[in-house]
């Protein structure tokens, strides 16, 4: 029996030792699901604070209950370490590290390259390496396969390599991690089959594709689809603003059609690690092939101008009552990139806050999930959402629609409200105070 055949048998018996590199919003939920399925799991993380939290049975991810961590730790199925030397003992290694953009909006592969180099140093026959971090089509085959084969081992013979994109949607209560089908594409058919086997006990459905490039493209298509349609919704919002129409009324009425229309909502800009970034990976790759990704470029242009549009609207709303932005008290409600999460990566609140501070606004914020928030070199701390704080603000600006905020009270106590998320749609009184995107 070959070493990869032995690995397949270990996976089927759930004796395979699973490693997860990167214990953030993607890695920790995945590690917990593997452990819940019965595999022994070791999480690898550079941040010692996260490792110490897990070793003390504490979760720092909203979607991962502390009770789950404690239960799996007590069962001996979930470990965490900063010692990457232990990768040699893992049969399967999942890479869940960030893949951000540089300041010039080029792909930054430094985290993934570092992770792959850590694996290459310990790579042995009979291991399966699964990349999950979003990247451009061809990265696994063109960039990381040669690095791993530089160890002297051959893919599909000595070790297996696959790409399986993450599809985690933080704070989504409707679709939990295991309920979202897992796409897998390997460098060889055997690689795909081993990746399928390891994910089948964890996910309700596994969707194999013919190559790692196809799996990489799947993830980019998913989020490019969302980015382009959000761009359309944002452009419609700008049109409705010019026409004096309520964009939320228009979208809800259009969504009553039972076919041919899918509802996407406008907002103050794109945020999070996926939607603002993933289409740029695809666009960057296509530029190298002299193929202009025109839909992506146009949607990006529209979406990236939304924070500036919000800042201009703030000025216009204050100007209605002969107030200037300079010296006005502006209270931002929510700075996370989406409702009910604590993640501020790429949040439109960052740019909106920068623009308002540049205009001289006296800025405060409240976010029940984000205690501290830095705008450049300007540190801010979340203030208590008291009646006094609401009343003293010249404008309350809703950037993130957290479910725990009482918007009825916000509108009742505030002087003016600018709602970029339609969070106040159910508020009965005080409609005259509300302006919408």
Q: With respect to residue 190, please indicate whether it lies within any of the assigned structural domains.
A: yes
Question: Would you say residue 263 has pLDDT above 80?
Answer: yes
Question: Would you say residue 1 has pLDDT above 80?
Answer: no
pLDDT, tens digit, 9 for 90 and up, residues 162-185: 999 999 888 888 888 999 999 999
pLDDT at 93: 98
Q: With respect to residue 223, please indicate whether it lies within any of the assigned structural domains.
A: no
Question: Would you say residue 290 has pLDDT above 90?
Answer: yes
Question: Would you say residue 218 has pLDDT above 90?
Answer: yes
Question: Would you say residue 129 has pLDDT above 80?
Answer: yes
Average pLDDT, integer, range 212-219:
97
Q: With respect to residue 221, please indicate whether it lies within any of the assigned structural domains.
A: no
The DSSP call for residue 107 is: B
Q: Which of 42-46, 212-216, 286-290 has the lowest mean pLDDT?
A: 286-290
Average pLDDT, integer, range 241-256:
97
Range of the domain at 101: 3-210
Strand ranges inside 296-416, DSSP E: 329-333, 362-366, 372-375, 378-381, 395-398
Q: With respect to residue 215, please indicate whether it lies within any of the assigned structural domains.
A: no
Do the Cβ atoms of 418 and 435 come closer than 8 Å?
A: yes
Calpha distance 135→130 (Å, rounded): 13
Question: Would you say residue 278 has pLDDT above 80?
Answer: yes
Do 47 and 160 share a domain, yes or no?
yes
| φ, ψ of residue 278 in degrees (nearest 5) | -55, -45
Question: Would you say residue 395 has pLDDT above 80?
Answer: yes
Do 121 and 67 share a domain, yes or no?
yes
Greater pLDDT, 38 or 173: 38
36 alpha-carbon distance from chain centroid: 23
pLDDT at 48: 96
pLDDT at 5: 95
Confidence bin at 100 (pLDDT 50/70/90): confident
Do 292 and 410 share a domain, yes or no?
yes
Greater pLDDT, 280 or 332: 332
Q: What is the mean pLDDT of the chain?
A: 95
Helix (H, G, I), strand (E, B) or coil at 376: coil
| Residue of 397, 407, 399 whose CA lies nearest to 427 | 407
Write the CB contacts of 89 (distance below 8 Å, at least 6 apart in sequence): 17, 42
Do 425 and 349 share a domain, yes or no?
yes
Do 151 and 196 share a domain, yes or no?
yes
pLDDT, tens digit, 9 for 90 and up, residues 342-382: 999 899 999 999 999 999 999 999 999 999 999 988 899 99
Among the candidates 176, 210, 244, a domain finishes at 210
pLDDT at 272: 84
Do 187 and 241 share a domain, yes or no?
no
Do the Cβ atoms of 148 and 159 come closer than 8 Å?
A: yes
pLDDT at 103: 80
Among the candidates 154, 175, 210, a domain finishes at 210
Q: With respect to residue 136, please indicate whether it lies within any of the assigned structural domains.
A: yes
Question: Would you say residue 270 has pLDDT above 80?
Answer: yes
Clarify whether 90 is annotated catalytic: no
Do 279 and 344 share a domain, yes or no?
yes
Do 263 and 293 share a domain, yes or no?
yes
What CATH number is associated with residue 387? 3.40.50.720
pLDDT at 168: 86
Q: How many CA atoms lie within 13 A of 354 on its CB side?
A: 11
The DSSP call for residue 155 is: B
Do 254 and 319 share a domain, yes or no?
yes
Do 243 and 201 share a domain, yes or no?
no
Average pLDDT, integer, range 285-313:
94
Helix, strand and coil in the chain, % to nearest 5: 40, 15, 45
Beta bridge partners of 42: 19, 79
Calpha distance 102→65 (Å, rounded): 33
Q: With respect to residue 216, please indicate whether it lies within any of the assigned structural domains.
A: no
pLDDT at 357: 97
Average pLDDT, integer, range 424-437:
94
pLDDT at 332: 98
Q: With respect to residue 119, please indicate whether it lies within any of the assigned structural domains.
A: yes
Number of compact structural domains in the chain: 2
Helices (H) and strands (E) in the chain, counts: 15, 15
Question: Would you say residue 277 has pLDDT above 90?
Answer: no
Q: With respect to residue 219, please indicate whether it lies within any of the assigned structural domains.
A: no
Do 324 and 394 share a domain, yes or no?
yes
Both tokens of 223, joined, read: 């989020």
Calpha distance 222→228 (Å, rounded): 10
Do 105 and 247 share a domain, yes or no?
no
């Amino acid at each position: 029996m070959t070493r990869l055949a032995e690995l397949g048998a270990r996976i089927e018996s759930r004796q395979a030792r699973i490693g997860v590199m990167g214990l953030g919003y993607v890695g920790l939920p995945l590690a917990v699901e593997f452990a819940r399925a019965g595999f022994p799991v070791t999480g690898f993380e550079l941040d010692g604070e996260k490792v110490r939290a897990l070793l003390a049975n504490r979760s720092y991810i909203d979607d991962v209950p502390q009770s789950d961590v404690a239960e799996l730790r007590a069962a001996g199925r979930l470990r965490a370490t900063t010692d990457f030397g232990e990768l040699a003992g893992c049969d399967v290694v999942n890479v869940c590290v960030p893949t951000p953009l540089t300041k010039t909006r080029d792909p930054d592969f430094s985290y993934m390259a570092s992770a792959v180099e850590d694996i290459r140093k310990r790579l042995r026959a009979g291991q399966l390496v699964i990349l999950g971090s979003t990247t451009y089509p061809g990265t696994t085959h063109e960039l990381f396969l040669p690095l791993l084969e530089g160890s002297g081992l051959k893919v599909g013979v000595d070790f297996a390599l696959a790409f399986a994109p993450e599809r985690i949607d933080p704070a989504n209560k409707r679709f939990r991690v295991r309920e979202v089908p897992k796409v897998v594409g390997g460098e060889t058919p055997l690689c795909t089959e081993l990746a399928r086997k390891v994910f089948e006990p964890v996910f309700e459905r596994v969707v194999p594709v013919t190559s790692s490039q196809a799996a990489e493209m799947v993830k980019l298509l998913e989020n490019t689809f969302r980015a382009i349609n959000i761009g359309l919704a944002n452009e419609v919002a700008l049109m409705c603003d010019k026409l004096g129409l309520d964009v939320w009324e228009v979208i809800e009425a259009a969504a009553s059609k039972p076919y041919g229309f899918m509802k996407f909502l406008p907002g103050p800009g794109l945020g999070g690690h996926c939607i603002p970034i993933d289409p740029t990976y695809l666009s960057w790759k296509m530029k190298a092939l002299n193929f202009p990704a025109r839909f992506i470029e146009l949607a990006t242009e529209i979406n990236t101008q939304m924070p500036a549009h919000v800042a201009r609207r703030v000025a216009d709303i204050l100007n209605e009552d002969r107030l200037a932005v300079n010296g006005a008290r502006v209270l931002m409600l929510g700075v996370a990139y989406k409702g009910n999460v604590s993640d501020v990566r790429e949040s439109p609140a960052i740019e909106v806050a920068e623009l308002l501070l540049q205009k001289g606004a006296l800025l405060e914020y409240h976010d029940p999930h984000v205690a501290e928030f830095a705008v450049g070199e300007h540190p801010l701390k979340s203030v208590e959402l008291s009646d006094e704080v609401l009343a003293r603000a010249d404008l309350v600006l809703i950037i993130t629609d957290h479910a725990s905020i009482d918007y009825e009270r916000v509108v009742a106590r505030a002087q003016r409200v600018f709602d970029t998320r339609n969070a106040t749609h159910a508020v009965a009184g005080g409609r005259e105070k509300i302006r919408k995107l």
